[in-house]
Amino acid sequence: MANEHTEFATRADAFEASEDVPANSSPANTFGNVVQARYLGRRSLLKGMTAVAAITTVATPMSMLISRAAHAAARPFTFDEIEHGIDETHHVAPGYSADVLIRWGDPVLAGAVKFDPAGQSAAAQVSQFGYNNDFVGYAALPFGSQNPERALLCVNHEYTNEEVMFPGIARQDMIGFRDMTRALVDIEIAAHGGSIVQVEKVDDKWRVSEDRTLNRRITANTPMRLSGPAAGHARMKTRADRTGTSVRGTFNNCAGGMTPWGTYLMAEENFNGYFWGKLSQNHPEARNYKRYGLPGKWYAWGKYYDRFDVAKEPNEANRFGWVVEVDPYDPNSTPVKRTAMGRFKHEGAETIINKDGRLVVYQGDDQRFDYLYKFVTAGRYDPNNRAANRDLLDSGTLFVARFDADGSLTWLPLVFGAGPLTSANGFGSQADVLIETRRAADLLEATPMDRPEDVNPNPLTDKVYVMLTNNSKRKVGDENAANPRGPNTFGHIVELSPPDGDHGALTFGWDILVLAGDPEKPGAGAKWGPETSRNGWFGSPDNCAIDGQGRLWVSTDQGSKWPKTGTADGLWAMETEGAARGSGRMFFRVPVGAEMCGPQFAPDDKTLFVAVQHVAVDGAKAWPPFGRDSSYVDPATRWPDFDPNMPPRPSVVAITKDDGGEIGS
């Protein structure tokens, strides 16, 4: 069978290629055009600057202000940096310990069998920790407490890498899936989704609790409910679900979020890659699927299960690309896909309670030239009645962002009947608008962005930070003083400013915090704060976290392109206020071929949980000590076990300070 992805070195490259698909033909201004219009006039003298002079913060006086007068300036970061580099293990700042908490294959459910990498089965995997851990959420135990030493960790499992997962199996999308059996596909299906795991701190060290009563595995087969405006719509109905209200499973869950009422939001990202088959050009869903890059054919699931073949079950793909809400405190509850929040390649779903009590959820659509969104609930959050918030995410307004050259951001409502979102353009209801969120946003002329990934609001300052990972398709000629790169290889971070801290407002201010890349290379066009050291810069910001002091932490995802920076992915502390604004400091580094994901602080800031995924995979061939692609029997590293009988294993790591103090201080 012909394979569409033979040129991609890693699975992550296939994902990135999907993000490169020119699916957006919107005529709206690119983000680069807007930045150019805003900054070129007053910063044109920056062209041709030397590298030393270019290490400046991209900021306006407005961005130096904070939204809440009561916010005291956060303490500066005081840890000693680690150095850029790449090797077979992880590294953390001096004075800190980074302990592996749970690994792929470790037991989650009571009665789980011991992990046997040479004898895996789907029956075993459904009770074990899944693969490629990404988002990490913290749900304190008991519910409603701020317990810093006992919690449920809610962890996404994004995707699988069969070449380092199964003995004797090469990467299958490069060879037409010739070695994939139904049994192997079933293991992959079981390894996706999420894990909810009770953890506890004992004698200053974190461990998985022996109490597994609340533990849960969610997979690509777990029964779920569809809710909100698209539930029950004809385009959501299949042969297996004539009602359009139930669906099996979730997959490619990247970043996510936690709600104030303690539920876990799983964001479905590159769902297109799990489908194969072909629709005729005149099929009613052909335009819709083209806009989402469907089918991607990255996995062999459609070889054995008709629901993943668009020719056999053309509506099934409409049931993915949503945000899934899970109650971690009830392992018997049914997860719910909240369709009011829109369908696209969700990187995450981070929340904040607005000053009027409504919940606002920020979301990025992780593809080059796609959009930034927010969802504002119609109802108010009730802190005294958890049950009253149960369906809060089913009703509200989804907005998409338009960035203007005057430094303002306008939130455009995606509401059926408003503007071009009418039957004349193929929308018959709000359900159609949400199923085809991308096309609706195109018609509203939202601003195409450079892969918007994690979007995190700061509850202390009300600023919102948008990670824009990169855009290799930005053409030469788009250069400008604020983003003088074509292509945009290293990404940047945008800071949003809601007026008077009102996240429900229709107009925000915006600014650029940093332009990533090596500031010592003039061609990179990087711009950083004045205290950024030779190790404090990075490329390709991806996930982020806000600690209890309101300080920003940024993780990176360079994929196999890490040789462009010469360092592995990691986690950096980032100054956002004062004279050091825009300065980074390197805190943690992952092993060769891995990605840094899921930074999550415990409530007391004394523990930082991070997720290390696809170990030994990305760019292993470019690492001189290894010089070849990894396989199960011959990986670039066997982190974290370093056992010749164990393959590399994605893992969650708990970082603590050796003196028991707060992380970063």
Show the tokens assigned to 412. 């455009």
**Rounded CA gap, 652 and 597, in Å?**
9
pLDDT level of residue 8 (50, 70, 90 thresholds): low
pLDDT at 24: 67
Residue 573 has pLDDT above 90, yes or no: yes
- Please tell me the predicted confidence (pLDDT) of residue 472: 83
pTM assigned to the model: 0.93
Q: Residue 12 contacts by C-beta under 8 Å, 6 or more apart in sequence?
A: 557, 559, 560, 595, 614, 617, 618
Q: Which element (helix H / strand E) includes 39?
A: helix 31-43
How much of the chain, in percent, has pLDDT values that exceed 90? Answer: 84
Q: Is residue 374 part of a domain?
A: yes
Average pLDDT over residues 115-134: 98
In a domain, 1, yes or no: no
CA 488 distance to own-chain centroid: 19
Long-range pairs for 13-18: beta carbons < 8 A, 24 or more residues apart: 13/559, 13/560, 13/618, 14/173, 14/273, 14/296, 14/298, 15/159, 15/270, 15/273, 15/298, 16/559, 18/270, 18/272, 18/273, 18/293, 18/296, 18/367
Tell me: pLDDT of 64 over 50.
Answer: no
Q: What's the structural domain count of the chain?
A: 1
Q: Which of 462, 368, 326, 355 is nearest to 23 (CA)?
A: 368
| pLDDT value of residue 525 | 85
CB burial class (10 A; 0-12, 13-18, 19+) of residue 78?
A: exposed
Distance CA 21, CA 473 (A): 9
- Residue 119's domain comprises 11-471+485-617+626-657
Residue 663 belongs to a domain: no
Give the HSE-up count for residue 170: Cα atoms under 13 Å, Cβ half-sphere: 10
In 485-640, alpha helices (H): none
- Whether the predicted pLDDT of 575 surpasses 90: yes
Pairwise CA distance, residues 560 & 11, whole Å: 10
Q: Is 146 within a domain? A: yes
Q: At residue 456, what are phi and psi to the nearest 5 degrees?
A: -125, 120
3-class secondary-structure state, position 520: coil
- Given a cut of 60, whether residue 27 has pLDDT beyond it is no
pLDDT digits (tens, 9 = 90+) for 337-387: 999 999 999 999 999 999 999 999 999 999 988 999 999 999 999 999 999
Whether the CB-CB separation of 257 and 350 falls below 8 Å is answered with yes
Rounded distance between C-alpha atoms, residue 512 and residue 515, angstroms: 8
Q: What is the pLDDT of residue 487?
A: 84
Checking if the pLDDT of 56 tops 60, the result is no
Q: For residue range 611-660, what is the model confidence (pLDDT) as tens digits? A: 999 999 999 999 999 999 999 999 999 999 999 999 999 999 999 999 99
Question: Sign of dihedral through CA atoms 4, 9, 12, 18?
Answer: negative
Q: What is the pLDDT of residue 335?
A: 98
pLDDT digit string, tens, across residues 448-489:
899 999 999 999 999 999 999 998 887 777 743 334 467 889
Q: What is the pLDDT of residues 80-122, one digit of tens each?
A: 999 999 999 999 999 999 999 999 999 999 999 999 999 999 9
pLDDT the model gives residue 305: 98
Over residues 212-219, the mean pLDDT reads 98
Residue 479 belongs to some domain of the structure: no
pLDDT at 74: 80
DSSP class of residue 593?
Answer: T
Q: CA angle, corner 339, sides to 333 and 340, nearest 5? A: 115
Report whether pLDDT(60) > 60. Answer: no
Going by pLDDT thresholds of 50, 70 and 90, the confidence category of residue 37 is: low
For residue 211, the domain's CATH number is 2.120.10.30
pLDDT score of 67:
40
Rama region for 105: left / alpha / beta (φ>0; ψ in -120 to 50; rest): left
Query: How many residues in total does the chain contain?
Result: 665
pLDDT for the residue numbered 34: 55
200 vs 378: CA distance, rounded Å:
37
